[in-house]
Amino acid sequence: MGDVRWLTETEIDTWLKFRSVVELYPGLLDSQLRRDSQMTHMEYQVLAMLSEAPDRTLRMTTLAARTTSSLTRMSHVVTRLAQRGIVARSACALDGRATNVTLTDEGHDLLVAAAPGHVTQVRESFLDALSPAQLRQLDDICDSILTRIDPEGKMTAR
Amino acid sequence: MGDVRWLTETEIDTWLKFRSVVELYPGLLDSQLRRDSQMTHMEYQVLAMLSEAPDRTLRMTTLAARTTSSLTRMSHVVTRLAQRGIVARSACALDGRATNVTLTDEGHDLLVAAAPGHVTQVRESFLDALSPAQLRQLDDICDSILTRIDPEGKMTAR
DNA sequence: AGCAAATTATTGAATCATCAACCAATCACG
DNA sequence: CGTGATTGGTTGATGATTCAATAATTTGCT
């Protein structure tokens, strides 16, 4: 239990900026997708990950890991998407505990319709805001941070 | 209405990492503060900003801007903090529309008790994860992003 | 002065996330 | 081969955030 190392002025500045970004960014993504495509960013991410998976199907745990979601949260998200006919749940033949989630055709149509707006948002607020050098720097920076906050890579599996 | 510029593989990689960070980070801060100090990160930020203000008092709008919060959200947060005796609302003498929010002594004690744990969390998950060069890079990167997502600086006033 | 527009803030309903508790299936290992 | 531990997943209650609507005050203009 050593003493706390308080932050310097410079550290506070950088920290508060970073804090603003992580606090503001999720809401930005949510509001564009909600407004234009009636879905949250987490829902979009689910559709995107399923659309790239074999048979457009993934297990709950995998889906949660690929979208940085807790299993609990994913369960609620999938319940809502299933009620809307966007995904379908099914039992996994290989493991009786597991649940498979499949993207329906309807869900795929929804993703196709939502993608341009979302990609444009990502370009305008992120990719086009930074130089190629900054993007490379940020890639490394995110690696370092993720190593600290999710050492096992449980939440960030690819 | 031009065509969408889809993302390259490299862009997708960087984007998904960044996305993971912004998605994971707020929850990390919340869970440490909730566990150790019975408050959310937004509540901590309110206490921190008030503690540095003259008379430990700020107007709602200023408080919202300094904590990257909407006014609506801040109104709810302040209602809860006031119920717990951590802050006090009062009318602003200069502008009949405005509300002042003041940190109580009890609130200040709570902040003092919570600060070491929070600062340690910030060091371990952020400042100590990055080199001095990376911190400088990230400072610039955050400036660029914030310019895009909050051009007027409405949410990020200091 | 007088009135429209903008600013400041609050409220209530709906939505979403988190936490704790739980259940069922599989694994590890004596 | 059985039993305790682990893994995979769901549920319901609680709490926080957003959205839309509303109200009161001030500002800008003529």
The DSSP secondary structure of B102-136, one letter per residue, reads: EE-HHHHHHHHHHHHHHHHHHHHHTGGGS-HHHHH
- Residues facing residue A89 across a β-bridge: A101
Helix (H) or strand (E) holding A58: strand A57-59
Residue A154 — φ and ψ, nearest 5°?
Answer: -65, -35
Report the residue from A24, A126, A128 with minimal CB separation from B150.
Answer: A24
Distance A8 CA to D24 C1' (A): 43
Instruction: Say which residue the tokens 């999710």 belong to.
Output: A150
Res B79: pLDDT: 97
Q: Is the pLDDT reported for residue A158 higher than 90? A: no
Domains of chain A: 9-149 (1.10.10.10)
B24 interfacial to chain A (CB closer than 8 Å): yes
Q: How far is B146 from chain A (nearest CA, A)?
A: 7
**Rounded distance, CA B141 to CA A21, Å?**
10
Res B2: pLDDT: 67
Query: Is residue A153's beta carbon less than 7 angstroms from any atom in nucleic acid strand D?
Result: no
Beta-carbon-side half-sphere exposure of residue B18 (alpha carbons within 13 Å): 26
Res B101: pLDDT: 98
Closest-approach nucleotide to residue A30, Cα vs C1': D18
Q: Tell me the Cα Rg of chain B.
A: 18
**Rounded distance, CA B48 to CA B112, Å?**
9
Q: What percent of chain A has pLDDT over 90?
A: 92
Report the residue from B4, B134, B144 with minimal CB separation from A129.
Answer: B144
C-alpha distances out from residue B51 to B57, B58, B76, B118, B123, Å: 8, 10, 20, 15, 21
Q: Which residue of A has its CA nearest to B147?
A: A129
**Rounded distance, CA A146 to CA A89, Å?**
30
Residue type, B78: V
**Rounded distance, CA A17 to CA B136, Å?**
12
DSSP codes, B134-158 = HHHHHHHHHHHHHHHH-TT-TTS--
Average pLDDT value over all residues in chain A = 95
Q: Is the pLDDT reported for residue A69 higher than 70? A: yes
Protein residue closest to C10, using CA and C1': B75
**pLDDT confidence bin for A1, thresholds 50/70/90:** low
How many CB atoms lie under 10 A from the CB of residue B9?
Answer: 7
> For chain B, which residues score pLDDT lower than 50?
none
Res A2: pLDDT: 67
Res B151: pLDDT: 79
**pLDDT confidence bin for A122, thresholds 50/70/90:** very high
